Each structure stands twice: as C-alpha cells, then as structure tokens.
Chains A and B, each alone.
Chain A
C-alpha cells in the first residue's frame, strides 16, 4: 500500500514539475523574443537589500517592467537605474539626481529618463559631464538623505538634485524605519537617520545565504518571478470589486482647493505641527551637513505645489518664499520645480507629461515628461557644476 501511495505521490510531483518546466520554457521563449512586447511575462524583480537605505536596485539585472507602460529595464553594474559607467570620473563633472519613482522612471527606456536627458544636454556642452540617476521608487526624505550620503559619496558627485515631495513631512510614514531608513528621535530628542530595518527578519533573510539563493532564482527563473510578483501583490489580489469594475477614465485637470496649501503654509511658515517641522529641520540639516562636508552644491527641488491655479497664487507665493528662505538659509539651493514645469509646458500641457495609453494625463512621467524634467535639471545643474572654482 505504501508503495502505491509513494508511486502516486511521485507521479503527482512529476506532473507539477513538468508543468513548471513547461511554463518556465514558455516564458523564457516569450521573454527572449519580440513577443515580450505583447504577450504576458513575469515582471522584473528589481530590488535587493541595502544597509544604508533598506533596499536598492540589484546590479546588472534585466527584465520587463509592466506597470503603466512596458519597458525593458537593465540596471547598471553599480546597482542603479542608470547606464553602465565607471565609478571614477577624474577630470569630468558628475551630478546625481535623487528622488522617487518619478526620477527612477521605469516606464521609459533608460536613455529617456530625465537624468539621461540632462546628461545628454550637459555632455553636449561639456563633454564627459555625467548625470547619474539615483531615483528609487518610494524614496522618502530619509532614504534620499541616506542615498546621497552613501551613493553620492561613492560616486564622488560634484552636485546633487534632491527631490522634495512636500507632503512627505506631514506623513507619519517618514518616522517608520521598519523597512527603509527613517527619521527617529535620538536620546536628545533630535530626529536622526534610523536603520531599524537592519534588525528585521525580512532584512536578515534577504542578506542571508537563503536570501542570496532567492535572488539568484529571481534572476534566473521566470517561475520564481511569478511567485515573487504574486507574493508582492497578494495571493488573492484580484478578489475585489475594483478588479471587476470597468477602468475609470483618467481625471483631466487639477484641483485648486486652498486646503492643499494651507497645511504646507502652516508647516513652513508657522512650524506646525511640531513633529513635521522637526522632520523638515532634520532633512535640511542633514543635507546641509553633506553639502558642507563634501563641498558640493545641493539643489532641493520642491515638487507637488500646484502652480496652475491663479486663485492660489498669493498663498503659493508665500509658501515658496517660506520654503526658499528656510532651505537657502542652510546653504542649499532651492528650485520651485512646479513653476518651472508650468513655464516649460504651459498650464494645459502639464498633464500631457504624465501617463501612457488609456491613462494618458495621470501617473508617472512619459517620454515627453522626462524630457521636460531633464531640461529643467540641465538648466539648474549647469551653473551648479560649472560655476564652481
């Protein structure tokens, strides 16, 4: 009887194994031919553990990014969403652009990202000039600072653009360091970079031998990518009414509600709430410390402050002045990115910089959006890189 059970179990396992191999083969064929632009493929798994920020791109991996727009992603040998480049750059100038998924720009080709566009412009004027893309999806101010400290130092950057999504300080997630670098109060009550994730089980697994095997599998097996993607989205992710509902048309236009600016004004002008104010202080303090220690210009690009509403012009102006004063007082440069975007694209043209296909007008930057952002970065980096003694 046991022999019969064992034989059935062997047949069962053999069937599952054969199915797995067949599916693996199917997706290998799709992924390595032009069919990958149309047929389904498991999405690339980009990120691995990093002691400085909690996560980062893994080096020299490639695959398809599927969300919003299908693109072929290849990370650089340095583990960045960037082209391959030498870590040394003697005799040439190098800038870094630090931000979240908008800078990471996984929806477009590497050569079409804002950083690549800025590099193309600047290297045309000053051969050899480099602009390195340090974008990382989900990067909050603490991660940006940690990334500038680690990667900026490793790359010996001569200038940096740091994106500042203004709502970040008002979010409580900024003090959460369980998965990524966060800001936590130290014994003296000051907010400091904190790396609580290093003691988490997930991080320990990812940095262990088992974790390395897991990542090896992700890099070499399509089926492993399917499992990883399903783990990330949830086993029963499609169990929702939203999944059955027809897609909503993208929202055109923008909100000119005054309340959007009121909270920011309270933070930057009046310093309330106090925790958000202390976090903003810590962010500016840390960037200023890097600027001082490395003697490089740092441009803080404030972003997501609606610049298309004439009715908000006065409030917006007050907010921008408050932010500018506080940031420049620390020796940093300030960039009103939204205003520059409106100047470049026009109020009606801003939406056209976002989204793809049916979601045109919303979402991440499309090719045109990256081009506009790249031109702005080139404009602000030019004096920062070449006006130095």
Chain B
C-alpha cells in the first residue's frame, strides 16, 4: 500500500476514526498494521510473521544469556542475505546455485535492522524485552514506519507502545494539525517534485547523456529526486504517526545544505546513519587489533567498511558498495581535515560537499560500474560521448537546442536548490509551534483537503517510492 495513494488516505482515515472512537488503541494499531502489511501479499506476510515470532522468542533468551544474540542475528541477517543478496553473493563468487530470482520482501531491510538493533540493545542492557507478543508485534509492525523507516530504537518507540496498550498515551490533539502538515509536505515532495523529476532522470540514464551538460543535469536531478522521494516518504511516515500521538525520529534535516560530508551524513537518513554508527562503526573502531599508533588507520578502515556496508544495504550491486566506500573515505577525510587543517570558508565547504554528493550519486543510479564510469567520463568530458546503450535508445539524451530551453533547465535546477534552502527556513521549530498554536478544524481541513487533492491527481506514470525497493 503506497503512501501517495487515495486508498492509503482512506485507510489512514478509517484507522484514525477507530483509534479516536474506540478504547483499544494498541490493538487497533496492531490490527491496522497487520492489515497494512498483508496487502503486500501472503509470502511477505508469512516471512514477516516468522521473523517477528522468532525474534519475540530470542529476546527472552538473549536477556538470560547474551550468546543467544548470535543465532538471532544470523537468522535475521540470514533472511536478509537470502532474499536480498543471494544472487549478488553467488555471482560475486562466480557460483550461482540459484536458478530463480526472488522478489525482495517488502521492507525487509528496514525491519531486520530495527529488530537487530533491539536485540543488540537487550544484550547490552539498554532495552527491555516485550512480554506481550501484541506489544512486540506493534513495535515491529507499526504501519507508519514499517516499509521504509524511520528505523526506530526501543528507547524511542518502546515506551510509546507500552503506553498505547496501557491506555496511558494521551493523543495530543494539537499534534494532529502538525501531522497533517507533515503529510502534506511529504506529498508535495513526492507527487509534485520527485515524480516530476523522475521521468527526466530515467530518460537520461536510459538513453545515455548526449554531452557533459546533459550528464550533469541527469545526476543533479537524480540527487534531488531521491531526496524528495525519500524525505517525502519520511515526512508522511512521521506525520501519520503524529495523528496517533506517536513520535517517530526525524530522518532528514535539509542535508544538501551541510558544510561537510560528515555533517551531510548526520542530516541524511539520520536513523540509518545512527544505526550504522552504533552497531557497526563503533564496534569496528573500538576492537583492539593493533597498537594505538594505528588507531587512525583503523578508524579509516572502519568508516570505509561501515559506509560500504551502508551502500550494500541500499542494493545488491557493486555500484552501491563503491558509492558507500567513497562516502566513508570522504567522511574520514573531512574529519581529518577539520582536525589538522584550518576549516575552509563555509561556502566552499558546502560547495565541495554538495559537489561530492551529486557526483557520487552517479554510482547510486547507474546499473553497473562500467556504466557509472562512462557516465562520469561524459560528465567531466573525458570521452567524446556516451556509448550507445540498449536497443531502445534511439539517440542519446540531448538538452533542448534552443537557448530558452537551456535557460529554463538551469533555472529549474537552481530552483530545486532554492526550494531546499526554503525548506530549511520553513520547517523550523517556530513553524511547528505556530501550527501547534493555530491547530483547529480549519487548519486540519486545509492540510487534509490539499493532501486529498494531490492524491486525486491521476498518475500518468507509475513512480513507486525509491526506498521501497531497498
């Protein structure tokens, strides 16, 4: 069930009505979440049920003996590896024993991470097991963040789940206006911006760019497409949770305005970055493998490996691995730079960071490493032109020949950056407080009405959320 569909709006409205009118709030959200995931199909639902039930059992075992953590993680990540990476791994070792491709179960990357974080937290004494299966299931399956995050920790979400079932969670009615505003913001990002940019990006990457300018345009637009797509989804997820009085962690904080790569990753997919920091980077960086003088090298290696794994999490392809490794190396470089060299002026830092993010996005979007290097070669005019790709490509993608068309393209690209800057100015705490204060029937109908109008707009092309495929 997609968040940018009318039937999700109906679903959300019905669940909200039941939630407000009936006393069994935790059970209502659990039933809604199960129904929401069941729409993904029987196979995905059965797999999710098996993983949830097994993890429910493991949490008690881990509480008693933390060595049970390893079989639990093997099971969780084994499922992830089998469904998401088996073809990649088998191909990488040159021995593909599997003959049939398997569709990746919906949201498996997200819920496996969330469950593993919970189990690790229990083993570290930072989380308490759920004795009630229903509460554990809601913690895992809450429909608002089930499919693509935010990846929530026990300390953020666990107590809220208990309060829901204990009927202690007071629905702050003034959060409703804020929740609807976030849903509307997310829909604008997705329906108006991301879905409009997507076809141009697809055309450029499908046909191959006809020159350096077209190549830059393609990757620039893709960078914004994925931001609007994923942050739009996250806004809807957080906003719809607000309708039920539940607070989910923020996932984006206008990352393209970051002055360094390290800060970029503190503002982009924040919950994933924190997961990787706490459960991958810190253990790798802290493990004693060499003397103190190799500490920096170890950190460099740990960061590169962590981010390479981050890349691999996004997709089973070497393009993602290289993209992640480059991010890791850049983060270490930025950290070392800030430690040993005087920081550059903020504008230069921002431009270098944004340029790096845009350029490395080529690896994120390209179907193969060869394609990515060809594309980069075209971007930096290292080759005469992009090699012909695919039989469908009648010709390479060209910019409009007339000056006005080029001007409009450049204006549009800069407008995207301006919109991002505007977002940083508008989505502030003051704005949230203002909505909180003005919250009421009028404001709610304004936000909900505008959101429904956007949902009613017929879809010319199917554009599922990009992160749903991860």
On A, residues with C-beta under 8 Å from B are 8, 11-16, 18-20, 22-23, 34, 38-40, 42-43, 66-67, 223, 226-227, 229-230, 233, 235-239, 243-247, 249-250, 252, 352, 357-358, 360-361
Structural contact, B200 and A238, CB atoms closer than 8 A: no
Please report the C-alpha to C-alpha distance between residue A23 and residue B200 in the assembled complex, in whole angstroms: 24
Please report the C-alpha to C-alpha distance between residue A16 and residue B191 in the assembled complex, in whole angstroms: 20
Q: A18-B446, A358-B203, A358-B206 are in contact. Are A39 and B196 (CB under 8 A)?
A: yes
Structural contact, B462 and A15, CB atoms closer than 8 A: no
Q: A226-B456, A247-B462 are in contact. Are A239 and B442 (CB under 8 A)?
A: no
Please report the C-alpha to C-alpha distance between residue A22 and residue B456 in the assembled complex, in whole angstroms: 15
- Residue numbers in B under 8 Å from A235 (CB-CB): 6
Structural contact, B446 and A22, CB atoms closer than 8 A: yes
Give the bracket for the number of chain B residues in contact with chain A. Answer: 35 or more
Ranked 8 nearest A-B pairs via Cβ:
A15-B445, A19-B449, A23-B453, A11-B441, A19-B450, A15-B442, A66-B460, A16-B449
Q: A22-B450, A247-B462 are in contact. Are A40 and B5 (CB under 8 A)?
A: no
For chain B, residues 9 to 32, give those with C-beta under 8 angstroms from any C-beta of chain A.
none
- Residue numbers in A under 8 Å from B35 (CB-CB): none
- Residue numbers in A under 8 Å from B458 (CB-CB): 42-43, 226, 229-230, 233, 237
- Residue numbers in B under 8 Å from A16 (CB-CB): 445-446, 449
Q: A11-B440, A34-B408, A247-B462 are in contact. Are A360 and B192 (CB under 8 A)?
A: no
Q: A19-B448, A233-B458 are in contact. Are A249 and B443 (CB under 8 A)?
A: no
State the Cβ distance, A321 to closest chain B Cβ, in Å.
Answer: 36
The reply on B444 being an interface residue by CB < 8 A is yes
Measured CB to CB, the nearest residue on chain B to A360 is B392
Structural contact, A15 and B6, CB atoms closer than 8 A: no
Structural contact, A357 and B203, CB atoms closer than 8 A: yes
Among A8, A19, A237, A247, the residue within 8 A (CB) of B441 is A8
Structural contact, A40 and B2, CB atoms closer than 8 A: no
- Residue numbers in B under 8 Å from A43 (CB-CB): 458, 460
State the Cβ distance, B251 to closest chain A Cβ, in Å.
Answer: 22
Structural contact, A360 and B456, CB atoms closer than 8 A: no
Among B191, B445, B447, B450, the residue within 8 A (CB) of A12 is B445
Structural contact, A20 and B6, CB atoms closer than 8 A: no
Q: Can you give 19 A-B contacts (C-beta < 8 A)?
A: A15-B441, A15-B444, A15-B446, A18-B442, A19-B447, A22-B450, A23-B449, A34-B408, A38-B200, A223-B453, A230-B458, A235-B6, A238-B5, A239-B5, A243-B459, A244-B2, A247-B462, A357-B206, A358-B202
Interface string of B428-464 (1 = CB under 8 A from A): 0000000000001111111111101110111111101
Structural contact, B442 and A14, CB atoms closer than 8 A: yes
On B, residues with C-beta under 8 Å from A are 2, 5-7, 191-193, 195-197, 199-200, 202-203, 206, 391-392, 394, 408, 412, 440-450, 452-454, 456-462, 464
Please report the C-alpha to C-alpha distance between residue A13 and residue B448 in the assembled complex, in whole angstroms: 12
- Residue numbers in A under 8 Å from B445 (CB-CB): 11-16, 18-19
Among B192, B391, B441, B449, the residue within 8 A (CB) of A40 is B192
Structural contact, A20 and B192, CB atoms closer than 8 A: no
State the Cβ distance, A252 to closest chain B Cβ, in Å.
Answer: 6
- Residue numbers in A under 8 Å from B6 (CB-CB): 235-236, 238
State the Cβ distance, B183 to closest chain A Cβ, in Å.
Answer: 13
Please report the C-alpha to C-alpha distance between residue A352 and residue B458 in the assembled complex, in whole angstroms: 28
Measured CB to CB, the nearest residue on chain B to A42 is B457
Please report the C-alpha to C-alpha distance between residue A143 and residue B202 in the assembled complex, in whole angstroms: 39
Measured CB to CB, the nearest residue on chain B to A43 is B458
State the Cβ distance, A245 to closest chain B Cβ, in Å.
Answer: 8
Structural contact, B199 and A357, CB atoms closer than 8 A: yes
State the Cβ distance, A32 to closest chain B Cβ, in Å.
Answer: 15
State the Cβ distance, B321 to closest chain A Cβ, in Å.
Answer: 23
State the Cβ distance, B20 to closest chain A Cβ, in Å.
Answer: 15
- Residue numbers in B under 8 Å from A247 (CB-CB): 461-462
Q: A19-B450, A23-B450, A39-B196 are in contact. Are A230 and B456 (CB under 8 A)?
A: yes
Please report the C-alpha to C-alpha distance between residue A128 and residue B454 in the assembled complex, in whole angstroms: 47
State the Cβ distance, A34 to closest chain B Cβ, in Å.
Answer: 5
Please report the C-alpha to C-alpha distance between residue A43 and residue B408 in the assembled complex, in whole angstroms: 23
Given contacts A18-B442, A39-B192, 8 further A-B contacts (CB under 8 A): A11-B445, A34-B408, A38-B196, A40-B196, A226-B456, A229-B458, A237-B458, A247-B461
State the Cβ distance, B44 to closest chain A Cβ, in Å.
Answer: 12
- Residue numbers in B under 8 Å from A15 (CB-CB): 441-446, 448-449
State the Cβ distance, A95 to closest chain B Cβ, in Å.
Answer: 31
- Residue numbers in B under 8 Å from A226 (CB-CB): 453, 456-458
- Residue numbers in B under 8 Å from A252 (CB-CB): 391-392
- Residue numbers in A under 8 Å from B456 (CB-CB): 226-227, 230
- Residue numbers in B under 8 Å from A352 (CB-CB): 394
State the Cβ distance, B466 to closest chain A Cβ, in Å.
Answer: 12
State the Cβ distance, B470 to closest chain A Cβ, in Å.
Answer: 14
State the Cβ distance, A193 to closest chain B Cβ, in Å.
Answer: 33
State the Cβ distance, A139 to closest chain B Cβ, in Å.
Answer: 23
Measured CB to CB, the nearest residue on chain A to B193 is A39
- Residue numbers in B under 8 Å from A223 (CB-CB): 453
Please report the C-alpha to C-alpha distance between residue A361 and residue B2 in the assembled complex, in whole angstroms: 30
- Residue numbers in B under 8 Å from A237 (CB-CB): 458
- Residue numbers in B under 8 Å from A38 (CB-CB): 196-197, 200, 412
- Residue numbers in A under 8 Å from B460 (CB-CB): 40, 43, 66-67
A14, A16, A246 — most chain B CB neighbours (10 Å):
A16
Please report the C-alpha to C-alpha distance between residue A238 and residue B199 in the assembled complex, in whole angstroms: 19
- Residue numbers in B under 8 Å from A238 (CB-CB): 2, 5-7, 459
Measured CB to CB, the nearest residue on chain A to B453 is A23
State the Cβ distance, B234 to closest chain A Cβ, in Å.
Answer: 20
Q: A38-B196, A66-B460, A236-B6 are in contact. Are A360 and B446 (CB under 8 A)?
A: no
B192, B391, B449, B462 — most chain A CB neighbours (10 Å):
B449
